[in-house]
Amino acid sequence: MSSETVFQTRAEDSIGGDFYAQHFQEGCEENTLVLNMGPQHPSTHGVLRVILEVDGEYILRAEPVLGYLHRMHEKMGEVKSWYQFIPNMGRVDYGHPLAWNWAYVGAVEKLAGIEVPERAEFIRVITCELNRLASHLLWWGAYLLDLGAFTPILYAFDDREAILDILQRPTGSRLTYSSFRIGGVQTDLDEKTVQMIRDFIPIFRERLPMYKALVTDNIILRKRVEGIGEMSPDVIDRYGCSGPVARGSGIEYDVRRNEPYSIYDRFDFEVPTEDTCCAAGRYLVRMEEMAQTLRILEQAVDGLDKAEGGCIMEKAPKPNWKAPAGEAWFAVESGRGKVGVHVVSDGSKTPYRIKLRSPSYSNLSSFAEVAEGVLIADAVSILGSLDLIIPEVDR
Amino acid sequence: MTTFINIQLLYLIIALVAIMAWVGLNALVLVYCERKFAGHIQRRPGPFEVGPHGALQPLIDGLKLMGKQLLTPDGADKVLFWLAPILSFVPVLLLFVPIPYGPVLTGMEMNLGILLILAFAGFNSLALLLAGWASNNKWGLLGAARAVAQAVAYEIPMLLAVLGVAFITGTLNLTEITTMQGAWPWQWNIVLQPLGFIVFLVSAFGETNRAPFDLPEGESELTAGFHTEYSSMGFGLFFMAEYAYMVVVCSVCTVLYLGGFKGPFIDGWWWFLAKTYALLFLMIWVRWTYPRVRFDQLLNINWKWLLPLATFNLLATAFFIKL
Amino acid sequence: MTVFEHFRTLCIAKGNRASSGVDWNVFLERDYIVDAAELLKYSGFHLESVHAIDGAEGMLINYLFDHFTQGERICLRVLLNHEDVTVDSIAGIFQGAEWHERETYDFHGVMFTNNPNMVNLLLPAESEVHPLVKAPKKRVALAELLSCGEIESQAEGFDLLNQKTEEAAQ
């Protein structure tokens, strides 16, 4: 079926630029500047391109253009076997890859009715929460770099080094982890790793007040985030935003609490929510989430010793395993929001259809509406507060 | 008569050559200090490999910059494009002439020294505007627009703060202003003009485009702002000019408020350098600590806070002098 | 299920959340999708995803909705004939659907009429390739693929899921 392109490129293009720039400029007003923010830009967090129609410094219209990092993971899912697709999940989101690992593996396990041993669940929780901490630190450092503070990113990376060293031991990687397996995890946590985690928690807990005093309470930063990027709960509903973006607008929804998976219902932790609906709310939610993650980590590490089972189920699926026919949807809370994987199987070696639902995709789709009428500097602040990871948006 | 003129002229020429050397040396030293200091604030060592503790790094960076290809972007106005960095850098040399480094170390003692400095510092905004405009780059244009608005805005409180000192001392001659202050800290002008000092310092950050007011080159928003399209020595000249302006502004602040070359026990250029470098240190420290202000907030700070404060300072000074 | 009680549906099936992750599977005729979306918006649901599955009987479009407080996940399903892969866009109600629909157009060639910006989202702008459309020989019957759960109500003539139960009974 031909696409019968609804929009045709102009015959004589008096306007320069590629298809998207021309298509965008068709709706432009008089005397406005059309700017391309990206795909090479220091603060679009990856290869995101946003075409802006600007009047002075005020944005009249914004349109994100995606696809610069599109690798068609969903097609790869139909071509690779069930086992082979796990490393793909490590590359979808480099900030919190273990959440994507979990979403895929969890969906397959749901489909096949596989039960994961308790110890494996604990290991999954521990590694995933450490990853969440690393993801939030990366967000924090990068956000402040966008706002012009050059130092916090290095402090954040200093702390991330400790986490990456810990996670390197069971997973073998520093950034794009693929350590989850269908039925458990790849390697067990040995004594040294557990001890490293136990040592890390109090050290990091001491850092958080320093970050608050240095950065969060700074008047210049507060003026850059308070009142910026108002997203009412209606916007959240219409675009399907989730995670800290939704929680920063007063919606108390966390997949770990509302749709508990694995052993999250055993842990005592709070879901931080802010009512301000602006970038400051999202900022504070993520800072508080870091503290709550430490609580979960402590409880998980304490419970690890008494957990039964091994790090992977007995008779774990071999690489040439076939899932039974059917479909399953599994959702996980990543640092950015609700990650969903819909797996459809026809009983053969490869999946029939895999749909990856990414939180940054939904969060970013609200940008066009939220950024109307703001200054360019505020647009940068809004993008940073949405915590986007572009590989996750493009897949 | 002719011999008299010749000596003056000779003195001036020597001073200018010395200033050029001083500016060059300062560029190297300040770049090194900035990178080292930034490194230590960020919990890392900074330049370390090139030379002992990275001391030769700025020199090698300068050589690297000189060796790069000079690119002119397509569609840029060639004359204006290459005029801009030169226009930014050359007037700076003139700004050092009236500044008294020591009791006899002045390029040329002028009765209107401060006026000369403020007047020629205005060239910078013109240079930034030319740079952004001639680049044929929308981001450069935005950076240039911001630079002009910012430079023009922050000149006014600076002027008013300087007027406050002029009222007290009755002269615009920098050497006289220095000699009228005493050797000890409580005898410096900062005691008489504390508000003026703060206003001047904040305006200094605004005039030199230093963080938290570094929007014209707001790296994370505008790529590199007005100097996006410059490479090699074009960028190098802007860079050196920025550091030179920083030194000028800190030197002037030292002379006006901190007693210049006067200090406890023995007056001399060492005190001058110590105070100037302390202020430069402060500028570097602030840059690596605070995030950037938004552009409308920056102008707000100027028009709603600095300008009223500076005016109030001036009126209060006038009032107390009358008493 | 109360939301679609008085709505004209083709089939409502109660899914098993533990095994398939979805609480309700609702099959609709193509013309009713916009009204159904409006109904769900009014009931406070938010849009999770819009995607397509290419099956032997046709192209199945899935609309996943979730609720922040009630914790109910509903999957609206619209089956389109392979010759006429067109459906109305719900982007007027859920603006987030604009991107999901563009992506579905990209991957499966499904045309959503009234979508405000029907241009390729992820693939290159002028590309006409729809990568996830399967070759006709490779398509599998949807009855085998779907796990809709227990059928609560079914319209006359709707036998998409019955084939599976017949086979299972055999």
- Write out pLDDT tens, residues A3-29: 333 333 333 334 567 778 777 877 777
CATH of domain A73-362: 1.10.645.10
Q: What's the N-to-C CA distance of chain C in angstroms?
A: 31
Query: Quick check: C53 and A236 CB within 8 A?
Result: no
B/A touch flag: 3 or more CB pairs below 8 Å? yes
The 10 Å Cβ neighbour count of residue C1 is 14
Test the A interface: residue of C145, C148, C164 with most A CBs within 10 Å: C145
In this prediction, residues A252-267 reach a mean pLDDT of 88
Tokens of C92: 């007027």
Phi, psi of A64 (to 5 degrees): -75, 135
Going by C-alpha positions, the residue among A250, A138, A159, A245 that lies closest to residue A202 is A159
Higher pLDDT, residue A67 or A6: A67
Query: Quick check: A154 and B43 CB within 8 A?
Result: yes
Helix (H, G, I), strand (E, B) or coil at B183: coil
In this prediction, residues C53-60 reach a mean pLDDT of 88
Reported as a pLDDT band with limits 50, 70 and 90, residue B142 is confident
Return the pLDDT at A298: 92
Query: Quick check: A151 and B289 CB within 8 A?
Result: yes
Return the pLDDT at A311: 79
Tokens of A19: 């298809």
CA distance B134 to B83: 10
A221 touches chain B (CB under 8 A): yes
CA distance B177 to B170: 9
Q: Beta strand pairing status for C111-113 and C86-88?
A: parallel
Return the pLDDT at C163: 60
Confidence (pTM): 0.87
Helix (H, G, I), strand (E, B) or coil at B41: helix
Whether C10 and C29 have beta carbons less than 8 Å apart is answered as: yes
Reported as a pLDDT band with limits 50, 70 and 90, residue B188 is confident
Reported as a pLDDT band with limits 50, 70 and 90, residue B127 is confident
In the predicted structure, residue A114 carries a pLDDT above the cut 90: no
Return the pLDDT at A11: 37
Higher pLDDT, residue C153 or A192: A192
CA distance B287 to C95: 42
Q: Which amino acid, residue A40?
A: Q
Name chain B contacts of A151, Cβ cutoff 8 Å.
Answer: 38, 41-42, 288-289
Q: Beta strand pairing status for C86-88 and C150-154?
A: unpaired
* pLDDT cut 70: percent of chain B above it: 94
Most confident of A350-359, B137-146, B211-220, B296-305: A350-359
The 10 Å Cβ neighbour count of residue B61 is 18
Return the pLDDT at C170: 42
Instruction: Kindly tell me the sign of the dihedral angle through the C-alpha atoms of A249, A235, A394, C34.
Output: positive
Lowest mean pLDDT among A132-136, A164-168, B60-64, C60-64: B60-64
Check whether the bond before B98 is cis (ω within 30° of 0).
Answer: no
Instruction: Kindly tell me the sign of the dihedral angle through the C-alpha atoms of B296, B298, B303, B309.
Output: positive
Whether A248 and A337 have beta carbons less than 8 Å apart is answered as: no
C164 touches chain A (CB under 8 A): no
Reported as a pLDDT band with limits 50, 70 and 90, residue B217 is low
Q: Which amino acid, residue B30?
A: L
A224 touches chain B (CB under 8 A): yes
Lowest mean pLDDT among A66-80, A361-375, B129-143: B129-143
Give me chain C's average pLDDT, please.
84
C-alpha distance from A281 to closest chain C C-alpha (Å): 19
Helix (H, G, I), strand (E, B) or coil at C25: strand
Name chain B contacts of A33, Cβ cutoff 8 Å.
Answer: 138
In the predicted structure, residue B220 carries a pLDDT above the cut 90: no
Going by C-alpha positions, the residue among A350, A394, A361 that lies closest to residue A71 is A394
CA distance A50 to A30: 20
In this prediction, residues B132-145 reach a mean pLDDT of 76
Return the pLDDT at A103: 93
Higher pLDDT, residue C154 or B256: B256
The 10 Å Cβ neighbour count of residue B255 is 29
Which distant-in-sequence residues (6+ apart) come within 8 Å of B151 by Cβ?
A: B122, B124, B125, B128, B206, B207
Give me chain A's average pLDDT, please.
86
CA distance C146 to C136: 19
CA-angle at C47, arms to C43 and C53, nearest 5°: 125
C163 touches chain A (CB under 8 A): no
Query: Quick check: B292 and A149 CB within 8 A?
Result: yes
Whole-Å CA distances, B128 to A202, A222, B87, B297? 49, 30, 9, 21
C-alpha distance from A258 to closest chain C C-alpha (Å): 7
* pLDDT cut 90: percent of chain C above it: 12
Q: Across the strands, what pairs with A330?
A: A341
Return the pLDDT at B226: 64
Lowest mean pLDDT among A237-246, B38-47, C57-66: B38-47
Helix (H, G, I), strand (E, B) or coil at A358: coil
Picking from A144, A158, A218, the nearest residue to B43 by CB comes out as A158
CA distance A182 to A175: 21
In this prediction, residues A341-360 reach a mean pLDDT of 91
Whether A317 and A83 have beta carbons less than 8 Å apart is answered as: yes
CA distance C133 to A3: 14
Reported as a pLDDT band with limits 50, 70 and 90, residue A165 is very high
Tokens of C89: 């866009």
The 10 Å Cβ neighbour count of residue A276 is 18
In this prediction, residues A101-109 reach a mean pLDDT of 92
Higher pLDDT, residue A108 or C166: A108
In this prediction, residues A126-147 reach a mean pLDDT of 91
Whether B246 and B30 have beta carbons less than 8 Å apart is answered as: yes
Going by C-alpha positions, the residue among B186, B161, B137 that lies closest to residue B256 is B161
CA dihedral B227, B232, B238, B240 (to 10 degrees): 150
Whether A58 and A374 have beta carbons less than 8 Å apart is answered as: yes
In the predicted structure, residue C168 carries a pLDDT above the cut 50: no
Sequence spans of domains, chain B: 70-322
CA distance B254 to B100: 10
Check whether the bond before B291 is cis (ω within 30° of 0).
Answer: no
In this prediction, residues A233-262 reach a mean pLDDT of 89
- CA-nearest residue to C140 within chain A is A346
Return the pLDDT at A131: 93
- CA-nearest residue to B295 within chain A is A377
CA distance A7 to A4: 9
Q: How many CA atoms lie within 13 A of C24 on its CB side?
A: 22
Return the pLDDT at B228: 67
In the predicted structure, residue A136 carries a pLDDT above the cut 90: yes
Higher pLDDT, residue C101 or B227: C101
* Residue C54: its H or E element: strand C45-54
Return the pLDDT at B3: 62
Q: How many CA atoms lie within 13 A of A119 on its CB side?
A: 15
Return the pLDDT at A104: 93
Lowest mean pLDDT among A8-12, B141-145, C120-124: A8-12
In the predicted structure, residue A99 carries a pLDDT above the cut 90: yes
C/B touch flag: 3 or more CB pairs below 8 Å? no
Return the pLDDT at A10: 35
Domain at C11-169: CATH architecture:
2-Layer Sandwich (3.30)
